[in-house]
Amino acid sequence: MATARKRPRPDEDTQAECPFTVSHPDPNERDKKAKRRRQESEDQAMPKLSLQVSPFSPMGKFKDPNNNMDRYYQIHPYQKWMDMTRYNSFVLNGVKYYSEGFIFVANNSTIERQKNPGEAQQSRQKSDDDWVARILEIRASDEHHVYARVYWMYWPDELPQGTQDGKKSVRGRQSYHGQNELIASNHMDVINVVSVTAKATVHQWDESNEDEIQQALYWRQAFDIRSMELSSALPRCKCNRPENPDNQLINCSNSECRKWLHDDCLVHDALVKTFKRLGAHTPHKPARVKTEELEGGQRPLSPSESGAAQTAQQSIDVKPEGQQTIKLGDVESSGSTAKAENRTIPIVTGPKRKGRPRKSELAEASNTKSYEGLFSAVINDTSPPVVEIRDLRENVTGGVKTWTEPVYCLLCSSEIQ
């Protein structure tokens, strides 16, 4: 079972001293030990084991449907912690912070940037920013010794190796995590409040609310430090990947579908179809639309009508796959009473192959980006939306290099309006 590990404190010259640590004993094992100790000494008081009810209720689920992220904990040294007065708030540098509120907490990276403000900014991850925590409890012995028991909020970059995300074992930020996204956890610590840098505003995102827009810090998933498991996120699109709120989604206009589709999935689908049609050497030539009206405004006669030319092929009675002959039915020729003889023609087949490909093989083929370096595409936010395709093949002449095509739903195949 994974155990919570205290986040490393800042270096010695900048550290905010905190003499308290947190442990999470198994309540069942503790009861057995307590019974033995009572038998040995009735006078020695046992440290109290407390239950922290989780302030986080994720919309998604864990593998264990009864998991509520509540944790038993114990503060050490226990008596020193209990001797301090409990408060609802504290004031630091003129700012008032409340229990149950979110805070930014300094770490080594932020302290280093404050010490060297003139240094050039290098590319960094969100985890290099201040840590974010939720205050659970505030205790103090005097104005110089004020401490907060907190639950840490994780930046996605901080997810450790072996994190379980559904059926996958992952580490760090995933493709669906937004830039301002945090992950709630039951990772508990006690900090000295002088390391608090500012208030934080963090909202819970309800993914089922399609009108909700995330403009500040938010969380939707929770991380259970005991099982190293992430709660689920709402799947979207044909690929069943969750939504990244920083990227565009397109809603299918078919009233019987109305599914949300990833922009990149629609682009990939359009490029796969384009490569299948044009390959590496065929130029794109837009189809010409005939606008000329027929003479006299008459429609052309069908082959079965008198005076029509016999241009259509005979119909074929197709038998199920695996049979090696096709029977041509008796078809009357126009203007003749003679019937064609029943005859069979052989089907030319290639080498024998296995049956239908596995779903994994189909998925692998559909995910192959054979078009890379040959075509590119973007979704234009018009009404209706269209995909703009650009031909990148320098060795192909003729045709057009940029064109637009309708956008089709990946699930119901309807054109999106």
CA distance 64 to 233: 15
Give the pLDDT of the chain (417 residues) as one tens digit per residue.
444 444 554 444 445 789 999 999 988 876 555 555 555 555 455 678 999 999 999 999 998 888 889 999 999 999 999 999 999 999 999 999 999 999 999 987 665 555 555 554 454 455 567 999 999 999 999 999 999 999 999 999 999 999 999 889 999 999 999 999 999 999 999 999 999 999 999 999 988 877 666 678 999 999 999 999 999 999 999 999 999 988 888 999 999 999 999 999 999 999 999 999 999 999 999 877 655 544 555 555 444 445 544 554 554 444 445 544 444 444 344 444 444 444 444 544 444 445 555 555 545 555 678 898 999 999 998 989 999 999 999 999 888 999 999 999 999 999 999
Q: Which three-class secondary structure state does DSSP give residue 373?
A: coil
How far the first Cα of the chain sits from its last, in Å, is 51
Q: Is-contact 78 19, C-beta < 8 A?
A: no
Please give the Cα distance from 256 to 97 (Å, whole number): 49
pLDDT value of residue 340: 44
The Cα 25–Cα 48 span in angstroms is 11
- Residue 132: phi and psi, rounded to 5, are -125, 135
| Residue among 406, 408, 393, 407 nearest 284 (CA) | 393
Look at residues 228, 55, 67 and name the one whose alpha carbon lies nearest to residue 158: 228
**Residue among 322, 319, 339 nearest 330 (CA):** 339
> What pLDDT, on the 0 to 100 scale, is given for residue 248?
86
Structure tokens at 395: 């060795």
DSSP 308: -
Distance CA 107, CA 155 (A): 13
DSSP secondary structure, 314-341, as one string: PPEEPPPTT--EEEEPP-BPTT---BPP
- C-alpha torsion 129→135→137→142, nearest 10: 50
Q: Residue 250 and residue 417: Cα distance in Å, rounded?
A: 10
Q: For the chain, what percentages of helix, strand and coil (3-state, to nearest 5) are there?
A: 15, 30, 55
